[in-house]
C-alpha cells in the first residue's frame, strides 16, 4: 500500500471494526520482509488430566459410549503467529476448545484451529470427556518478526463521516452475516494452493506505527499480476457465502468462501465474479477476475483468511509463491 492512502483509509475505518481490508499496489520490496512459511511441524506434549470427583452411578444408568481416538490431542501444522493446526481430539471427547474458542469436531473427532497474528507464546487445547474429565494440552506458538515502519507523525484520529457510515453499516452487516453461516465443507482439510501467480505486493501482518500509536496491520496478502482481468481460482474447496453484485466502499466486489470448521477466505477488489452465493466450489475452480474496485490504487488480488475472529497468514497455508 502507499502510506498516504493508508492514513486516509485508517481514518475511514476507525469506526468500522469488522473491516476486512483495503489496500493498494506497492512497488517490489527493497527491505526485509516477514519470514517465509516454515515447514509444518508437530508438537508432542504431556497432557494435564483433571478427573471429576467420584460419584455413585445408578446400576441401571448406562455409561455413555466413548468415541474412539488417542488418549490426548494429536496435531500438526504451522505453530506460529498467523498459523494453524489440524488435529485429532482425545477419544471420548464431548467438547473441545482452543482457549476460549470452541472447536468444531467432525465424526472422527478431527478439528482445525489457528493462532492470531498477535497470539501469545502459549495456547491450550482443552477436551472434556463424557464423564467430565478434562484433558489439557499446551501448545507453543512461535513469534514472528513483522514488517513494522515507525513514523514520527501523529495519526489522523478523525473518525469516518456519517455519510460514509450510512453506506458502510449495511456492508458490514452482510460481511458478518456471511461469516456466521458456518457452511458444510471439508476444504479445511486440504493443502491450499495459490489462487493466482504474480508478485506479492503486500504481506500479511505489516504495520505502521504513528508517533507510538499502532495503525491497523495488513490483514491478508496482496498479489499483483500487472493487469486487470486476470482470472483466479479457489485455493480450496468451499461454499460461497457472499458474492456482492455491487462494489463495497472499501473491498469493491467482494467474494467470501467458507472452507468449513470456521475457516473462510475473502477475495477483494475483483473486476468480475463468476460464482454466486450458495455455490459449492472446488479447489482450482475459476471463481473471479482481479481488479481494482473499492479502495485500491491498482489491479491486484487481496486474499485474506480468517478462523472465526482470528486473522491468518495465507503464506502459511500455501508456502512461497513460486
Asked whether the domain spanning 69-144 has the same topology as the one spanning 3-35+145-318, the reply is no
Q: Give the pLDDT of residue 64.
A: 47
Band (45; pLDDT cuts 50, 70, 90) = low
Q: Give yes or no for residue 1 having a pLDDT over 50.
A: no
Predicted confidence (pLDDT) per residue in 125-152, tens digit = 999 999 999 999 999 999 999 999 998 8
Three-state DSSP class for 209?
strand
Instruction: Classify residue 14 as left (phi > 0), alpha (psi -120 to 50) or beta.
Output: alpha
Give the global pTM.
Answer: 0.84
Band (155; pLDDT cuts 50, 70, 90) = confident
Query: Within 10 A of 194 (CB to CB), how many other CB atoms are there?
Result: 21
Ordered alpha helix ranges (H), the chain: 3-13, 162-179, 315-318
C-alpha distances in angstroms, 64 versus 61, 88, 94, 255?
9, 20, 10, 43
- Grid-cell match 486516509, residue found: 8
Q: Cα separation of 260 and 181, whole Å?
A: 10
Q: Give yes or no for residue 224 having a pLDDT over 50.
A: yes
C-alpha distances in angstroms, 129 versus 58, 86, 111, 117?
19, 20, 16, 31
Mean of pLDDT values over 22-49: 53
Question: What is the pLDDT of the chain when averaged over all its residues?
Answer: 86
Predicted confidence (pLDDT) per residue in 59-104, tens digit = 454 544 555 679 999 999 999 999 999 999 999 999 999 999 999 9
Q: Give the pLDDT of residue 62.
A: 54
Pick the CATH number of 3-35+145-318 from 3.30.750.80, 2.160.10.10, 3.40.50.1260, 2.70.70.10: 2.70.70.10
Q: Give the pLDDT of residue 221.
A: 97
The residues spanned by each domain of the chain are: 3-35+145-318, 69-144
Burial class of residue 93 in the structure, from the number of CB atoms within 10 Å of its CB (0-12 exposed, 13-18 middle, 19+ buried)? buried
- Grid-cell match 472422527, residue found: 108
* Rg from Cα positions in the chain: 21
Q: Give the pLDDT of residue 77.
A: 98
- Quick check: 105 and 129 in contact, CB under 8 A? no
Band (297; pLDDT cuts 50, 70, 90) = confident
Class for domain 69-144, per CATH? mainly beta
Band (321; pLDDT cuts 50, 70, 90) = confident
Query: Within 10 A of 248 (CB to CB), how many other CB atoms are there?
Result: 24
DSSP state of 188: G
**CA triplet 97, 206, 98: central angle to 5 degrees?**
5
Q: Give yes or no for residue 41 having a pLDDT over 70.
A: no
More confidently predicted of 113 and 10: 113
- Grid-cell match 508437530, residue found: 42
Query: Within 10 A of 31 (CB to CB), how many other CB atoms are there?
Result: 6
Amino acid at each position: 500500500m502507499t502510506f498516504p492512502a493508508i492514513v486516509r483509509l485508517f481514518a475511514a475505518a476507525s469506526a468500522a471494526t469488522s473491516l476486512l481490508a483495503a489496500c493498494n499496489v506497492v512497488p517490489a520490496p527493497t527491505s526485509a520482509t516477514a519470514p517465509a512459511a516454515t515447514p509444518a511441524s508437530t508438537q508432542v506434549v504431556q497432557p494435564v488430566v483433571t478427573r471429576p470427583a467420584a460419584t455413585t452411578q445408578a446400576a441401571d444408568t448406562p455409561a455413555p459410549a466413548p468415541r474412539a481416538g488417542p488418549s490426548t490431542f494429536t496435531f500438526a501444522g504451522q505453530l506460529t503467529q498467523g498459523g494453524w493446526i489440524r488435529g485429532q481430539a482425545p477419544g471420548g471427547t464431548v467438547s473441545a476448545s482452543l482457549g476460549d474458542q470452541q472447536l468444531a469436531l467432525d465424526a472422527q473427532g478431527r478439528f482445525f484451529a489457528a493462532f492470531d497474528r498477535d497470539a501469545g507464546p502459549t495456547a491450550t487445547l482443552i477436551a472434556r470427556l463424557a464423564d467430565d474429565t478434562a484433558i489439557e494440552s499446551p501448545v507453543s506458538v512461535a513469534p514472528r518478526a513483522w514488517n513494522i515502519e515507525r513514523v514520527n507523525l501523529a495519526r489522523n484520529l478523525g473518525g469516518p463521516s456519517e455519510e460514509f457510515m450510512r453506506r458502510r453499516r449495511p456492508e458490514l452487516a452482510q460481511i458478518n452475516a456471511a461469516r456466521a453461516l458456518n457452511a458444510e465443507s471439508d476444504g479445511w482439510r486440504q493443502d491450499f494452493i495459490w489462487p493466482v501467480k504474480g508478485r506479492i505486493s503486500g504481506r500479511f501482518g505489516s504495520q505502521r506505527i504513528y508517533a507510538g500509536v499502532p495503525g491497523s496491520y495488513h490483514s491478508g496478502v496482496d498479489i499483483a499480476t500487472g493487469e486487470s482481468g486476470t482470472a483466479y481460482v479457489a485455493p480450496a474447496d468451499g461454499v460461497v457465502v457472499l458474492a456482492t453484485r455491487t462494489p463495497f466502499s472499501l473491498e469493491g466486489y467482494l467474494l467470501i468462501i467458507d472452507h468449513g470448521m470456521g475457516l473462510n477466505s475473502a477475495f477483494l477488489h475483483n473486476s468480475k465474479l463468476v460464482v454466486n452465493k450458495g455455490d459449492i466450489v472446488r479447489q482450482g475452480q475459476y471463481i473471479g477476475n482481479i481488479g481494482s474496485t473499492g479502495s485500491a490504487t491498482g489491479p491486484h488480488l487481496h486474499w485474506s483468511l480468517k478462523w472465526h475472529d482470528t486473522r491468518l497468514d495465507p503464506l502459511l497455508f500455501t508456502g512461497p509463491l513460486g
